[in-house]
Structure 1
Amino acid sequence: MTLSYIVSGFAVGLLVGMTGVGGGSLMTPLLTLLFGVSPSVAVGTDLAFASITKSAGTLTHRLRGTIRWDIVKRLCIGALPAAVVSTLALKSFGTVSPEIGQIIRYSIAGSVLLTVVALIFKGRMLNWINAHPEKQLQGNKLAAATIISGAVLGVLVTVSSIGAGAIGATLLVMLYPRMSSAEVAGTDIAYAVPLTAIAALGHWWLGSIHWELLISLLIGSLPGITLGSWVARSVPEKFLRVLLAMTLTTVAVKLIY
């Protein structure tokens, strides 16, 4: 089984490296559907996995100067308290009960579908915003919208481990259309580090992290991400995103039914 986890980590890392989509939208459903890991343990383990891998990504982006720290601060103001409150709610309701497990399963499915929407319509939404500059938020309204977006992402990530990748990046593009792609990626990864770390600590407190599984996934994912990043330019991005959207849609349907 350990070898299967390593191979799965490699496969997810490869896809993440090629597409830039957050690993949670792939890893959490994979653990739940393929390996029969309980939803709460799959979420907790993936959060710990994400906090470690995104820390390395943040360091790289910091060295390149592609992180908007002012936006990271706003997102964290909303996301971190939301993660704490969500963890306390999970503790109160009982993460290991069948009812809560089913709620988490549906939350995973919903987050996966949001990721699909973000993948498919991100370009169209950005084109619409650029065509209607009067609709773009400014000043205090923009700051408030960023904090609220962070809070929504904080709940999504804590409950399902999904949302900090494609959904977070799409929200950043919608709110800050003048940011470069590198800044969007760097800022998205940077705010996700404290968010996934706090959420992972919460799940550790809840007892829903499988440490042997976590180590096996990391062994596979690190070379997978490296290889995926190398070959990304040789594979058509549109083809990859369509394939990924179809895969994630199938996953969401299986999670619900």
Structure 2
Amino acid sequence: MFDATPTLFGLLVGFLVGLTGVGGGSLMTPFLVVGMGVSPATAIGTDMVFATITKFTGSVQHYRQRSVNLEVALFLGLGSIPAGLLGVASLEWMEGTFDPARLEAIMINVIACTLVLVGASLIYRNYFMPNRNASPKPHVWDGKGKMSTRRRAYTVVFGAFGGYLVGLTSIGSGSVMAVILLLLYPLAPAIVVGTDIAHATVLSLVVGLAHMTQGNV
């Protein structure tokens, strides 16, 4: 008998990703592990492929609406993509080092800690982030013109942090990166969401392909 649960859940996650730019890994990976009994490594790789598909449509739409800052997305990717591949390599090292039961226990704890980080970042984003409607301070880059060298460096470093989490757990390509964007740039909400989804699409594609080559899909 056909089980429609994965399809319906995928529909819900896709809608949330398109609307907010967050929620893909935070919802899908725990669902696959807890709800479907999939091993953590396979759940992570499968979610990356799913995320690429769901985020692609949203990123194209945001690009057409001119709500993507390509420069910000580029420098995020310079940090996140190499770090994401390092996260995949870390997972492969763990698979070769620990027995399956031990690896599953470790990865469930890692995923749980990452979800706590994501939850904390979203709480900070919603309740403690400065008002973006207020006039930006003169020294803060507003998304127009070229970024300073320091801001580029910050973007690469923070992107690497988020990218490693994505490669290791599949979580954070939307939620963590969105908070990074909000911390570094006083951009309009639509630009934050559009840039976040566009960057996450490329990151998910690269990391997903890496997981596929390792048999984690």
- TM-score normalised to structure 2 length: 0.85
Alignment of 1:106-117 (within 5 A): 106-117=109-120
User: Is 1:189–2:190 an aligned residue pair?
Assistant: no
Distance in 2 (alpha carbons) for counterparts of 1:186 and 1:202? 25
Cα shift at 1:69: 0.6
| Structure 2 portions without partners, runs of 5+ | 142-146
Q: Per the alignment, in what secondary structure is the counterpart of residue 193 of structure 1?
A: helix
Cα shift at 1:122: 0.8
Cα shift at 1:94: 1.7
Alpha-carbon RMSD: 2.5
Partner of 2:77: 76
Distance in 1 (alpha carbons) for counterparts of 2:16 and 2:74? 29
Distance in 1 (alpha carbons) for counterparts of 2:51 and 2:136? 36
1:164-221 CA distances to partner (integer Å, 9 max, x unpaired)? 11211111011002x1111100100111111111111111111111xxxxxxxxxxxx
Structure 1 consecutive aligned stretches of length 4 or more whose deviation exceeds 4 Å: 14-20, 128-138
| Structure 1 portions without partners, runs of 5+ | 210-257
Distance in 2 (alpha carbons) for counterparts of 1:17 and 1:154? 20
Distance in 2 (alpha carbons) for counterparts of 1:184 and 1:68? 8
Whether contact under 8 Å (1:125, 1:174) holds in the other structure is no
Whether contact under 8 Å (1:22, 1:164) holds in the other structure is no
Q: 1:131 to 1:109 in 2, by over 3 A?
A: farther
User: Is 1:37–2:45 an aligned residue pair?
Assistant: no
1:108-136 CA distances to partner (integer Å, 9 max, x unpaired)? 11221122112212144421897994995
Partner of 2:144: none
Q: Per the alignment, in what secondary structure is the counterpart of residue 127 of structure 1?
A: coil
Which residue identity is paired with 2:108?
R
Partner of 1:25: 26
Percent of paired sites with the same residue: 35
User: Is 1:88–2:54 an aligned residue pair?
Assistant: no
Q: 1:136 to 1:50 in 2, by over 3 A?
A: same
Cα shift at 1:65: 0.8
| Pairing partner for 1:156 from 158, 165, 168 | 165
Q: 1:5 to 1:144 in 2, by over 3 A?
A: same
Distance in 1 (alpha carbons) for counterparts of 2:128 and 2:156? 20
Q: Per the alignment, in what secondary structure is the counterpart of residue 43 of structure 2?
A: helix
What count of residue pairs does the alignment treat as equivalent?
208
Structure with more relative contact order (C-alpha pairs < 8 Å, separation 6 or more): 1
Distance in 1 (alpha carbons) for counterparts of 2:115 and 2:93? 25
Partner of 1:126: 129
Partner of 1:142: 151
Partner of 1:166: 175
Quick check: 188-197 or 127-136, which moved more?
127-136
Q: 1:152 to 1:133 in 2, by over 3 A?
A: same
Q: Counting helix residues as a fraction of each chain, which structure ranks higher?
A: 1
